[in-house]
Structure 1
Amino acid sequence: MCLLMAVPLPSNANSTDTEVSNTPPNCNAQRDNWTVGLVFCTEGASQGYTLFSPIPSNTTYLIDGKGRLVHQWTSPGEHRPALSAYLLPDGDLLRTANNAQNAVGNFSGGGTSGKVERISWNGTLEWSWTYDDTLHISHHDIEPMPNGNLLMIAWEEKSEEEALQAGRNPAIASDSPGGLNNVWPDHIIEVKPVGTNGAEIVWKWHAWDHLVQDYDETKDNYGVVGDHPELLDVNYIGGTGNAAGRADWMHCNGIDYNSVLDQIALSCRSMNEVYIIDHSTTTEEAAGHTGGVSGKGGDILYRWGNPQVYDKGLSSDQQLFAQHDVQWIEQGHPEEGQLIVFNNGNGRYPAFSSVDIIRPPIENGTYTLASNGTYGPNQPAWTWDQGEAMYSGSISGAQALANGNVLVTHGTLGTLYEVNDAGEVVWEYIGPVGPNGSYTQGEPVPAGNRVGTTANAIFKATHYPATYPAFQFRALSGDDYIETWVDACPDEEAIHWDSNGDGCIDDTDGDGVLDPFDLCMFGSDTVDVDNDGVPDACDDFIDSDGDGVENHEDLCEGADDSLDEDTDGVPDGCDELIDSDNDGVENDNDTCPGQDDGIDVDGDNIPDGCDDLIDSDGDGVPDSEDRCVGADDTMDIDNDGVPDGCDDRSNGDQHNMTADNETSDDGYEMIWDNCKWSVTISEYQCWMDDWD
């Protein structure tokens, strides 16, 4: 399968486009049946690239977050790694090389190297150098430095006589070849590359220069081991069984450099400890106990993991168990400046591995001892494990990432995890390379040469962010997977869009529209109730009638809910009676909008609310002014001012019918007003009707 951003439109795609319209997902792994490669990821995984060197292979691979091959380097000397490799800022690869088959000394420990190679981005060998003779050989790990030099871990052979002179107990056996009771302590060299195959050792540190022992009081380094945490007990044996008699006494397996502190961190498996030493010294100062920024020469500044090594504490105080890959946590991670280490767990019961973050106690730039004479902390600041499901008895590593996650290498199973701060796996990759090359997807990875291991072992992987200088001005494109495939769709360029690895472009939601062209990746593109061009499954606002009210809340589907002329809570489109004045007459037939059409006092078919003259008796006088309701106010035959309809005296006399004898009916005030008796008024005369 090849990779192109322009994906030809398959015949079953409901689109007329010929170019990808969607951005490929950051993570498209749905791979429960995959046996190698990217088997799981989420959007919480880091963006960038991961470098790893399969131990059985002479090739180093760079993959992207989707598990696709971005670049690879093959050893010009056809060497397997031994065991680490690093990508330099200029794009060159700096890698260890297993030169054991050409070794001239007696060294036979695990992780033997003897050589280092620098390979350009284009695969050209730019520099190589061998550190392998009868007395020395490099192994396990190297560390590129900002000044262009590199640090290397190496063994140096000490004879049985030299070991005895250093106060080593002769009862301690050795597996040194030839039956010799030799011992191989570790040392560190700083190497400056010269030319294409030369080097200058510009700085050294030897563990053998910093020993203490309480076995032979005749030796200069005799002392109380517990009083000297800055020194190594030459008679401490951390291993058990066969490991107790190894010439590889310390088995240091990881090195890191802190350019801000100018200090070196060192992991030594057989001691179950990590160490920090001063690099600001000269080589001469590094051999002694004074000098450098610390003022302590090459003595140990800090150690952690197993206080029994310096005769402090009990077995219950041991924190590290055959650990690997100590690193300072770089800027960006919440624990920046602290240490992280892969804690293999050998000797723990039940056996399990973990990743631990350590916060060394520092006061005014000095690592401080606790009151009991040990270095803290009492426990890791953060730890992650999967119980017995993750146990790696050897190799492995851990790297803290800038986004707060941690890249974990479960080395013996060739598996990489990215874990977030909550301990959740957000990315998982199974190395697809074994002794005979790439594995085929779907086939199980063969077992390794040790119990509980697989044949795709990886020493450790390293993650590089997309902003790393090596990637600038380089076209990085994941053109294929490392593993081989049975491609079900050989005519489709599916790599960006193939989550299940069948070689076919995915149609994740099964709507007949392939993912590159899918408007809605999680639902059918064909269902769009409101016809707004956004499929319903991805439509945050489905509004079929365009009234601004979502369908599931719409009171009147198909009409505008905001139109409610009579404000009765029923949108007009669904209102059977739009009656703004609540008179029971719909607005379209309302004679008097705003008034009750049912009120028509004068019966003239004009509702009172719109009637300019409410005249119930039809006399032309409004009811509000009518003197004789029900009769014609204009009819007054006797001209007495009392409409005839209300006048009970036809002769012109008017009987004052008022009970309290107030002002006469003609409106004139009379002297008889307020009399006790009723009176009859005739023109300008009056008389009493009754005498009581």
Structure 2
Amino acid sequence: MAKQQTSIEQQTQKRRGTGLTAYDPEKVYHGYTLFTTLSGDGTVYLIDLEGNVVHQWKLPYPPYYGYLLENGNLFYNGWTPAASDDLRFPHWPLYKAGVVLEANWEGDILWEYKNPDHHHDARRTRTGNTLLLTIEKTPEDVAQKIQGQIAKSGIWSDRLIEVAPSGQILWEWHAWEHLDELIDRPVHSSEDPHHWPHGNGIEELPDGDILVSFRGISTVVIISKKTGKIVWQLGHDVLAQQHNPTSLDNGNILIFDNGTQRLTDPHTYSRVIEVNPRTSEIVWEYRDTPAYNFYSAFISGAQRLANGNTLITEGLNGRIFEVTSEGEVVWEYVSPYFSELLNGNRDNTIPADVYQYCGGATMNSIFRAFRYAPDKFPQLKK
């Protein structure tokens, strides 16, 4: 006897509702929101405050995320296929990127750089160069010293590079060379043992130093561009597998603290914190009430807006929302764009247990989202 199918939507987020869910026109930061879904096809969406799509970029690579440059063009991190011969470790196909590009309003690619070792993030510098997170094989004698790591096929570590528009590498930094500065940071048990310390965010600071997030050891660092030394760290006593540290105009750092395997609190929840790097004190924090209502185990980010509000991307659930400095939600949108993560790419490059956890699921996950003032888009003026 054939099994009768229910008419009820089985994707939980779709069933709960998508699109615009909250909007206070008196308290929001007015502008347009830019985002793309990780399981998407290379479409970048720009929506107004009512949730209407006002523009799209169609790009030839599946997305990580995109943001606007000062010149109004789109800077985009995209995925390129992970062939079996460049498979580093089981989770590599899940967060490999591979290409960064600049595109104009029409979607024409003006500049492109491919690097098979690129993952998670790349950002344009003030001089017109590009900073990228990449990976490299860790020397065996160093790998044996990395705390908590057991990987028979070896360990890969993060390598930061700065490339000129020509693609020439102008500067590089190797995480394994700074083992003595990071060795006391415990590796989370949920981390793939083949990758240390698992960078997931990078940004150039106003003074030229580099701000980096290392998820695998729950640590955010500032690296001196001149000396290569780590000049500031915020670690696992505060953070739990965080993402997207961002420098603010007041010199503080905004961080999305995911909350996975939090060492200081047994409860699971996410929060956004503003930290004063001079004192390492938290000077502002947003969490939901009750706290477990707001949680994204992976990805996600936060942006401080010009009116003092904060735009938050609860990435895993495709939720973007805006809060005031008092923590009041004044705008909320849930992406209605769902597709199968990894696009059904269940082949020999993705182990079955990894695919079962992250692949084959219909999702609307967003790596990061950004709000921009209307004057950034003269093309939309009527």
2:254 partner SS: strand
Say if 2:121 is the partner of 1:207.
no
Q: Structure 2 matches for 1:261-272, cutoff 5 A?
A: 261-272=207-218
Change (3 A) 1:149 1:382: same
Q: Structure 2 matches for 1:48-87, cutoff 5 A?
A: 48-57=31-40, 58-76=42-60, 79-81=61-63, 83-87=64-68
> Post-superposition shift, 1:305?
2.5
Aligned to 1:105: 86
With a CA cutoff of 8 Å and minimum separation of 6, indicate the structure with the bigger relative contact order: 2
Task: Quote the Cα distance in structure 2 between the aligned partners of 1:40 and 1:64.
Answer: 13
* Aligned amino acid, residue 434 of structure 1: F
> Post-superposition shift, 1:90?
2.7
Aligned to 2:3: none
Task: Quote the Cα distance in structure 1 between the aligned partners of 2:68 and 2:84.
Answer: 26
Task: Quote the Cα distance in structure 1 between the aligned partners of 2:38 and 2:148.
Answer: 36
Say if 2:120 is the partner of 1:143.
no
> Post-superposition shift, 1:165?
4.7
Deviations, residues 51-84 of structure 1 (Å, cap 9, x unaligned): 11110112111112221112111112xx212x23
Q: Structure 2 matches for 1:289-328, cutoff 5 A?
A: 297-306=227-236, 318-328=237-247
> Post-superposition shift, 1:150?
1.3
Task: Quote the Cα distance in structure 2 between the aligned partners of 1:424 and 1:171.
Answer: 40
Question: Which residue, 331, 340, 350 being the options, matches 2:267?
Answer: 350
Task: Quote the Cα distance in structure 1 between the aligned partners of 2:268 and 2:211.
Answer: 26
Contact 2:257 2:272 in 1 (8 A): yes
Question: Which residue, 104, 109, 123 being the options, matches 1:120?
Answer: 104
Contact 2:142 2:176 in 1 (8 A): no
Change (3 A) 1:304 1:395: same
> Post-superposition shift, 1:253?
0.5
Deviations, residues 615-650 of structure 1 (Å, cap 9, x unaligned): xxxxxxxxxxxxxxxxxxxxxxxxxxxxxxxxxxxx
With normalisation by structure 1, the TM-score equals 0.47
> Post-superposition shift, 1:324?
0.3
Deviations, residues 503-522 of structure 1 (Å, cap 9, x unaligned): xxxxxxxxxxxxxxxxxxxx
Task: Quote the Cα distance in structure 1 between the aligned partners of 2:148 and 2:20.
Answer: 50
Change (3 A) 1:61 1:173: same
Q: Structure 2 matches for 1:154-553, cutoff 5 A?
A: 154-158=134-138, 162-165=139-142, 168=145, 172-174=149-151, 179-180=152-153, 182-194=154-166, 199-212=167-180, 231-233=181-183, 236-240=185-189, 242-243=190-191, 246-259=193-206, 261-279=207-225, 281=226, 297-306=227-236, 318-330=237-249, 336-348=250-262, 349-361=266-278, 376-377=279-280, 379-386=281-288, 387-435=291-339, 455-468=363-376, 471-472=377-378, 474-476=379-381
Change (3 A) 1:462 1:385: same
Change (3 A) 1:187 1:165: closer
Change (3 A) 1:184 1:166: closer
> Post-superposition shift, 1:418?
0.3
Q: Which sections of structure 1, spanning at least 5 residues, go unmatched?
A: 1-32, 213-230, 282-296, 307-317, 331-335, 362-375, 438-447, 478-692
Contact 2:66 2:74 in 1 (8 A): yes
When Rg is computed on C-alpha atoms for both structures, the one with the higher figure is 1
> Post-superposition shift, 1:211?
2.2
Question: Which residue, 30, 37, 40 being the options, matches 1:47?
Answer: 30
* Aligned amino acid, residue 256 of structure 2: F
Change (3 A) 1:430 1:454: farther
* Aligned amino acid, residue 298 of structure 2: S
Between stretches 37-46 and 61-70, larger displacement belongs to: 61-70
Task: Quote the Cα distance in structure 2 between the aligned partners of 1:55 and 1:476.
Answer: 30
Contact 2:339 2:362 in 1 (8 A): no
CA RMSD of aligned residues (A): 2.4
Identity fraction in percent: 33
* Aligned amino acid, residue 18 of structure 2: V
Change (3 A) 1:346 1:35: same
* Aligned amino acid, residue 232 of structure 1: L
Task: Quote the Cα distance in structure 1 between the aligned partners of 2:118 and 2:82.
Answer: 14
> Post-superposition shift, 1:204?
1.2
2:316 partner SS: helix
Contact 1:237 1:249 in 2 (8 A): no
1:211 partner SS: helix
Contact 1:164 1:170 in 2 (8 A): no
Contact 2:147 2:186 in 1 (8 A): no
Task: Quote the Cα distance in structure 1 between the aligned partners of 2:146 and 2:213.
Answer: 24
* Aligned amino acid, residue 73 of structure 1: W
Change (3 A) 1:454 1:265: farther
* Aligned amino acid, residue 388 of structure 1: Y
1:412 partner SS: helix
Task: Quote the Cα distance in structure 1 between the aligned partners of 2:130 and 2:84.
Answer: 21
2:82 partner SS: helix
1:51 partner SS: strand
Q: Which has the higher strand share?
A: 2
> Post-superposition shift, 1:436?
6.9
Task: Quote the Cα distance in structure 2 between the aligned partners of 1:87 and 1:382.
Answer: 26
* Aligned amino acid, residue 258 of structure 2: N
2:105 partner SS: coil
Deviations, residues 133-189 of structure 1 (Å, cap 9, x unaligned): xxxx1111111122221111111122xxx2325662698312xxxx41x11111211
> Post-superposition shift, 1:466?
2.1
> Post-superposition shift, 1:326?
0.4
Say if 2:20 is the partner of 1:38.
yes
Task: Quote the Cα distance in structure 1 between the aligned partners of 2:185 and 2:56.
Answer: 43
> Post-superposition shift, 1:408?
0.4
